[in-house]
Amino acid sequence: MSGKNSISVVLGTRPEIIKLAGVIRLLEANVEVTYTGQHSDDDLSSRFFDSFRLPPPDLLLHGVGGAPRGDQIANAISQLSAHFMATRPRLVVVQGDTNATSAGAQAANYCNIPVLHVEAGLRSYDRSMPEEINRRVVSILADMNCAPTLRSADNLASEGISPSRIRITGNTVVEALQESLPTQETSLQVIRKHGLKNNGFVLATLHRPENTDDEERLSVILDELSQVPLPVVFPLHPRTAIRAASFGMEAKLEKLMCCAPLDHPTFLALARHARVLISDSGGIQEECTVLKKPLIVVRQNTERPEAVEAGFAVRVDAGSDISRTALRLLEDPDLSRVLETTPCPFGDGKASQRIAEIALAMASGEDPGYSDFGDYFTHSPK
């Protein structure tokens, strides 16, 4: 197997770029990258190709970013199907649970091209979440599901996915963070540049529709953040900024240390020296376990319970739970020491290597190995 179009990687958002960069680099000359443009804002997309030492995408779709969900998926499927029919890759790789993930898997399946799903098997069991529908659709279509944890593999097996289509690989977020994390000296320079002190601030992010699109809920969350007894650094996601402006909440934002979206290394530098993290992000639920930082998850449910069960994350709803929980974490004298010695539940930093090996084997028509349930559990990250 050789050639630029042997393996096609489809991605469309910042987290997908971060989590698939290592896989893409390992696939080298065998890979082409298609970017759907689901994140059309430059701060959330193109800068990340540079940050992770990736060339510009081989194909950029048009008319996807900013469109309603149905239009995004339909438009992407149409363009991807035409591209796959013309180029005939031997494998299509998708990651996670975005609209780009769903469109890539569907287009490949319609063109009779095998699909490999990275970060498969996560479940919130909340059908109101667009991401839950996306990941369930892709699991059915995928010829190979690369589950990040044993729990994710169990979720797939319980839904009738054959063990021959499941591999536990760990989560690529571990090595992505290790690569992006600045040195201690650089990180300290970053926080000083922002006028902050080590362990003297809270870092918060917010972007999910369940939090931003409900005026009352967003208002409560912003009020709660302003009551945390430390400065709250708040990188403003475009959706959050638009919703806050439309609801007339500028005064609430002024009580926080708002800034533009950050590149990944800068965000990690701040997270490394924050006392507590507050977020509705799925990726940060994983990253906190590598950084050994406590996280308040502002969600009604989570598809990453491993972070909660390991003690890194606490899930809360809105209301007074946010500031009350933050105060409890800030006042816990043993928390930092306990988290420092708690293993990351998302793998050993070798997920990208495992996934690249599976992808290359599939594209070559070879058996990717670990074909039965007991065997792939044996090979899961410790």
Please state the rounded mean pLDDT for residues 317-346: 94
> What is the Rg, in whole angstroms, of the alpha carbon atoms belonging to the chain?
20
The residue type found at 362 is: M
What pLDDT does 109 receive?
A: 98
What pLDDT does 66 receive?
A: 78
> What pTM was estimated for this model as a whole?
0.91
Question: Regarding predicted confidence, which is higher, 180 or 378?
Answer: 180
> Within this chain, do residues 288 and 206 fall inside the same structural domain, yes or no?
yes
Tell me: pLDDT of 375 over 50: no
Tell me: pLDDT of 382 over 60: no
2 within some domain: no
1 within some domain: no
pLDDT per residue as tens digits for the range 193-226:
999 999 999 999 999 999 999 999 999 999 999 9
The chain-wide mean pLDDT, for the chain, equals 91
What pLDDT does 379 receive?
A: 40
Please state the rounded mean pLDDT for residues 133-138: 97
> Within this chain, do residues 156 and 205 fall inside the same structural domain, yes or no?
no
> Within this chain, do residues 317 and 354 fall inside the same structural domain, yes or no?
no
> Within this chain, do residues 265 and 316 fall inside the same structural domain, yes or no?
yes
17 within some domain: yes
> Within this chain, do residues 48 and 140 fall inside the same structural domain, yes or no?
yes
> Within this chain, do residues 293 and 223 fall inside the same structural domain, yes or no?
yes
Please state which of the ranges 34-43, 102-111, 137-146 shows the lowest mean pLDDT: 34-43
221 within some domain: yes
What pLDDT does 339 receive?
A: 98
Backbone angles phi, psi at 302, to 5 degrees: -145, 145
Please state the rounded mean pLDDT for residues 28-52: 76
C-alpha to C-alpha distance for 121 and 135, rounded to whole angstroms: 7
Tell me which residues are annotated as active site. 207
C-alpha to C-alpha distance for 79 and 359, rounded to whole angstroms: 23
Q: Do residues 92 and 10 make contact, with C-beta atoms less than 8 angstroms apart?
A: yes
> Within this chain, do residues 129 and 196 fall inside the same structural domain, yes or no?
no
236 within some domain: yes
79 within some domain: yes
Q: Do residues 351 and 168 make contact, with C-beta atoms less than 8 angstroms apart?
A: no
What pLDDT does 254 receive?
A: 97
Could you write out the three-class secondary structure of the chain?
CCCCCCEEEEECCHHHHHHHHHHHHHHHHHEEEEECCCCCCHHHCHHHHHHCCCCCCCEECCCCCCCCHHHHHHHHHHHHHHHHHHHCCCEEEEECCCHHHHHHHHHHHHCCCCEEEECCCCCCCCCCCHHHHHHHHHHHHCCEEEECCHHHHHHHHHCCCCHHHEEECCCCHHHHHHHHCCCHHHHHHHHHHCCCCCCCCEEECCCCHHHHCCHHHHHHHHHHHHCCCCCEEEECCHHHHHHHHHCCCHHHHCCCEEECCCCHHHHHHHHHHCCEEEECCHHHHHHHHHHCCCEEEECCCCCCHHHHHHCCEEEECCCCHHHHHHHHHHCCCCHHHHHHCCCCCCCCCCHHHHHHHHHHHHHCCCCCCCCCHHHHHHCCCC
Number of domains comprising the chain: 2
> Within this chain, do residues 34 and 102 fall inside the same structural domain, yes or no?
yes
Tokens of 180: 């992006």
What pLDDT does 236 receive?
A: 96
Please state the rounded mean pLDDT for residues 27-43: 80
142 within some domain: yes
pLDDT per residue as tens digits for the range 258-311:
999 998 899 999 999 999 999 999 999 999 999 999 999 999 999 999 999 999
CA-based torsion, 149, 152, 158, 159: positive or negative: negative
> Within this chain, do residues 305 and 358 fall inside the same structural domain, yes or no?
no
CATH number for position 198? 3.40.50.2000
137 within some domain: yes
> Within this chain, do residues 203 and 125 fall inside the same structural domain, yes or no?
no
> Within this chain, do residues 191 and 221 fall inside the same structural domain, yes or no?
yes
**Which residue range(s) make up the domain with 87?**
7-172+349-378
> Within this chain, do residues 253 and 334 fall inside the same structural domain, yes or no?
yes
